[in-house]
Every structure is written in C-alpha cells, then in structure tokens.
C-alpha cells in the first residue's frame, strides 16, 4: 500500500487495514530507495512500529480514531521530537536529542499520526537546495542529478518518493514552497502565527512558519487543519481567524514584478500559459507591486540579522558539538563554532552580525524593517481589489547538484517567495506543468488567514494542470 493519497489511505486503515503492515511497507521502501535520494537523516523504525501496533489495538478496541489515523508523516529535522535526535542538518547538533515534543508533533500524535522519520535539510534551514546539509545533499526524485530544493528538501523528496503521504517543513523565505515546486508536490506557508513555532529550532523568528507538504491539495489541507491553532507557549501564536469565502468568482492579480530579471524564460512561459488557461474560470489581471523590487535584499538583511542573534546560543559549552578547549573561553568558543557550523551558516552569521553592529544597524537593519512595512502595505492595497496574488514559485527550473556555487546566485532563487514571509501572509505552491521535462510550480498568495481561499484556488489549479 503506497501513500499516494493520505485521505484514501486513512480510510483504508480506519476500515480495518493493518497499520503495522502499512508502516512496515513504508520502512522497507525507505530502506530500499532512500539511499539514492537521501531524504532522511533519521528513520524512526522502532517508535513508528510501536505506534502502529498501538493504533491497531485502538481500532480493534473501538476507540475514537483521529483525523490522521495511521498516516505516516515525515518531519523536517529542525522540529523537536522527544527521544529522537534533531540535528538541523548540522554537525553542531549531530547528537542532540530533545527532551520534549514540539507543539506540532504533539498535535500529530493526538491526531493518531505516526512520525516515520526526520528529514534532511539545508543546515539550520539556510539554503534553497538542501546541498548545505552536513549529512549530504538530497536528490530530486524526478531527476536524481538535480536538487530537491530547500531548505525542506528532504520533506518534499520523501512525499514525492512515496516514503510518506504527508510531511512537515518550515518556511523562512520559501523553504516549503521551493522544494514543493522542484519536486512537483503541494506546499503551504501558513499565515505567520497560525501554526505554533514552539519546538521549532528557528533560523529567523519574525519570518519562519511550519507548513504542511503533500502530494495534493486535499491532503495538504487535512494536515494543516491538524497542526493549526493557538498555542500559549508560543508568543508569536495568534488567535485563529478565517477569511470569509464568497460564492462569486475569484479575482487574481499577477504582479509584473514577479517576472523581473532572473526569471527563466521557460518558467515564465509555463506560468503565463497556465494563468491564461485559468482565465477561463477566474478573473486574472496584471498589476504592479513596486516594493517587490526591494524584497530580496530586505529579506536577507533581516533574516541574517536574526540568524546572528539566534545562533549565538550554539557555543559548544552548554550543549552541541564540543571541540578542543583553547587557552581561554573565547578561543574555545571559536573552536566549537568553527568546527560545528558549515560555510553557509558562518557566512550568514557574519553578515548578520555586521548588519547589527554599531554604526550600521540604522543603515541596514532598521532601513530593511521600514521597507518591510512598505511591502506589507503594497499587499494590503492589492488585496482590497483582488482575492489572490499569483506568480511563479521559483524563478528557475530545478538545477543540477553543484551547478550553483555562487552564494548570490543561490540567494536570487528566493526572489519570488520571500515577499510572503516579509508580509506574514499565507502562500502555497501547486504544480502547474512541466518545462523541458522538469516541474514548475504556481505560487498563490492570500490575505492573512486566507488559507481556505488558497485551497479553493489550488483545487482549480489541480483540475486544469
């Protein structure tokens, strides 16, 4: 039984199919196929089988079955899991085993889901390809010579490889939507504050959200409904709201800034052709959001500054990798961090520290926050006229492993996705076609708490694709 549809699989399991046999079949598939993909850092064989046996007993005894009964979920390795190591794809946390579950993990277990394993990722979620992992790159199941996207590449590859029907990722500047696009699955970045971040090992606090990933809209919505909700342990969590959805036709605005320099011609053609096709069912109109031209530098200044602050805790003294002791605390601290962090993490910490340093904070960080406000205001104005904003998820097709070595070239891959994180709005990537034999994702953005609107439009995309 392969987990192509979570909803169908759940019905079979609830109807009497063995959860244990289902989990064993997935674990066998992972052991056989994943060495070629490298989507998992840790496979939860023992805990997953024990959980499956417990769920089989629960069904036999007539217990109430949760909405994710028996379903396997792959979890990005920056989300804390009690008793299962959580590495963030880094040597620094190679042996770290959390003593508690993140809120989203507790909600998964409360819904009778099974954590099948912890997935590979760019180190501390810093990357767009999952090439920056201490545990090696994740390969794209559609073409193993190409990247799976990042930083949640392992989660996307696990779903695309049918290792699990559902997965959790985290999205700071596109880290759910990028691999969803590259692996031809669905990935949602929820409204900031909609999903608890308690237990997420964060890269940039003001930008990051945990999001669901699945092979189709229905499964993605199923997982989102389980993990969403207010959490008093997360001070960024918000009371839940829902945008009212009318019965009329949708109006979609397409910013011309989403087709700026850097967008491959093949991607632009595929997305524009698909939007033309959507025009037969919804109203599609080109618009302008001028502030988007400044979104990428604004994002990287804010994200790197927050990373510099967040990652200061990893010194190898309280926990994490401990190297050789130096002659004083400063040398020891430098040794530990030098050994524990990879090149990209070091680069972002240094740039973030510079942006926050005396004499430069106002010039860079404070100015970036002001531009962030302009971007949010641009979206607010657009949503007064349009229900949704649309454009490409990624400006490029999935590229070959090792092809993009220039950091700036990699940062440019985030040009389409970072605006949603800066504005705090929900955004989803849905497969919309193929170009040169490679997948292209359509990105849809909605007003805050407009996830149901995204799912409604996503179903239209699925029908047309």
CATH of the domain at 155: 3.90.1300.10
Q: Catalytic residue at 90?
A: no
127 in a domain, yes or no?
Answer: yes
Q: Report if residue 313 sits inside a domain.
A: no
| Residue among 129, 155, 170, 175 flagged as catalytic | 175
Q: Tell me if 433 is assigned to some domain.
A: no
Sign, CA torsion 79/82/88/93 = positive
* Diameter over CA atoms, the chain: 71
Number of compact structural domains in the chain: 1
CA atoms within 13 A on the CB side of 79: 32
Is residue 291 annotated as a catalytic residue, yes or no?
no
Q: Which residues of 299-335 are buried (b: 16+ CB within 10 A; e: fewer)?
A: bbbbbbbbbbebbeebbbeeebbeeeeeeeeeebeeb
pTM: 0.96
pLDDT tens for the chain, 465 residues long, are: 444 699 999 999 999 999 999 999 999 999 999 999 999 999 999 999 999 999 999 999 999 999 999 999 999 999 999 999 999 999 999 999 999 999 999 999 999 999 999 999 999 999 999 999 999 999 999 999 999 999 999 999 999 999 999 999 999 999 999 999 999 999 999 999 999 999 999 999 999 999 999 999 999 999 999 999 999 999 999 998 877 776 678 999 999 999 998 999 999 999 999 999 999 999 999 999 999 999 999 999 999 999 999 999 998 887 788 877 776 778 888 888 999 999 999 999 999 999 999 889 999 999 999 999 999 999 999 999 999 999 999 999 999 999 998 999 999 999 999 999 999 999 999 999 999 999 999 999 999 999 999 999 999 999 998
Whether 186 is in a domain gets the answer yes
Whether residue 457 is contained in a domain is answered as no
Residue 76 known to be catalytic:
yes
Establish if 83 belongs to a structural domain: yes
Among 78, 253, 259, CA closest to 171 = 78
Q: 76, 109, 189, 404: which one is catalytic? A: 76
CB 423 within 8 A of CB 452: no
Phi, psi of 433 (to 5 degrees): 155, -175
Q: If you ran DSSP here, which 8-state letter would residue 49 be given?
A: H
- Which residue among 39, 129, 151, 429 is the active-site one? 151
Cβ neighbours for 30, distance < 8 A, ≥ 6 positions apart: 40, 43, 116, 117, 163
| Residue 142 within a domain | yes
Task: Domain of residue 145: give its range.
Answer: 6-227
Specify if 190 maps to a domain.
Answer: yes
The closest alpha carbon to 430, from 158, 257, 131, 215, belongs to 215
């Amino acid at each position: 039984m392969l987990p192509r549809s979570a909803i169908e699989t759940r019905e079979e399991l609830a109807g009497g199919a063995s959860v244990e046999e289902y989990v064993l079949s997935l674990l066998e598939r992972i052991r056989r196929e994943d060495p070629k993909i490298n989507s998992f850092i840790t496979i939860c064989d023992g805990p997953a089988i024990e959980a499956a046996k417990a769920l089989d007993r629960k069904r036999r005894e007539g217990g109430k079955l949760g909405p994710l009964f028996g379903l396997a979920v792959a979890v990005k390795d920056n989300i804390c899991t009690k008793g299962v190591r959580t590495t963030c794809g880094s040597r620094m946390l190679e042996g770290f085993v959390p003593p508690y579950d993140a809120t989203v993990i507790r909600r998964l277990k409360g819904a009778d889901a099974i954590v099948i394993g912890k997935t590979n990722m760019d180190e501390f979620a810093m990357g767009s390809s999952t090439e920056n992992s201490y545990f090696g790159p994740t390969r794209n199941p559609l073409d193993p010579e190409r990247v799976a996207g990042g930083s949640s590449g392992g989660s996307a590859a696990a779903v695309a490889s049918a290792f699990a029907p559902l997965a959790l990722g985290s999205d700071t500047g596109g880290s759910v939507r990028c691999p969803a696009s590259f692996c031809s699955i669905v990935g949602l970045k929820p409204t900031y504050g909609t999903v608890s971040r308690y237990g997420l090992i964060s890269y940039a606090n003001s930008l990051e959200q945990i999001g669901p990933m699945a092979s189709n809209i229905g499964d993605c919505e199923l997982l989102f409904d389980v993990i969403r909700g207010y959490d008093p342990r997360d001070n960024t969590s918000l009371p839940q709201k829902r945008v009212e959805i009318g019965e009329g036709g949708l109006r979609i605005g397409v910013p011309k800034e989403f087709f700026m320099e850097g967008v491959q011609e093949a991607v632009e053609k595929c997305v524009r052709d698909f939007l033309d096709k959507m025009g037969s069912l919804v109203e599609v109109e080109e618009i302008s959001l001028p502030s988007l031209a400044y979104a990428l530098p604004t994002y990287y200044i804010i994200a790197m500054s927050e990373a510099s602050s967040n990652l200061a805790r990893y010194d190898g003294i309280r926990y994490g990798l401990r190297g050789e002791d130096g002659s004083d605390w400063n040398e020891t601290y430098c040794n530990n961090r030098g050994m524990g962090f990879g090149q990209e993490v070091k680069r972002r910490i240094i740039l973030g520290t510079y942006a926050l340093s005396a004499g430069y904070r106002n010039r860079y960080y404070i100015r970036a926050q002001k531009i962030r406000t302009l971007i949010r205001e641009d979206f607010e104005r657009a949503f007064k006229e349009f229900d949704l904003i649309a454009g490409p998820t990624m400006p490029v097709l999935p590229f070959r492993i090792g092809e993009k070595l220039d950091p700036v070239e990699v940062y440019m891959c985030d040009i389409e996705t970072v605006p949603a994180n800066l504005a705090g709005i929900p955004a989803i990537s849905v497969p919309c076609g193929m170009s040169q034999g490679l997948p292209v994702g359509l990105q849809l953005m909605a007003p805050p708490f407009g996830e149901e609107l995204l799912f409604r439009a996503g179903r239209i995309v699925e029908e047309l694709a």
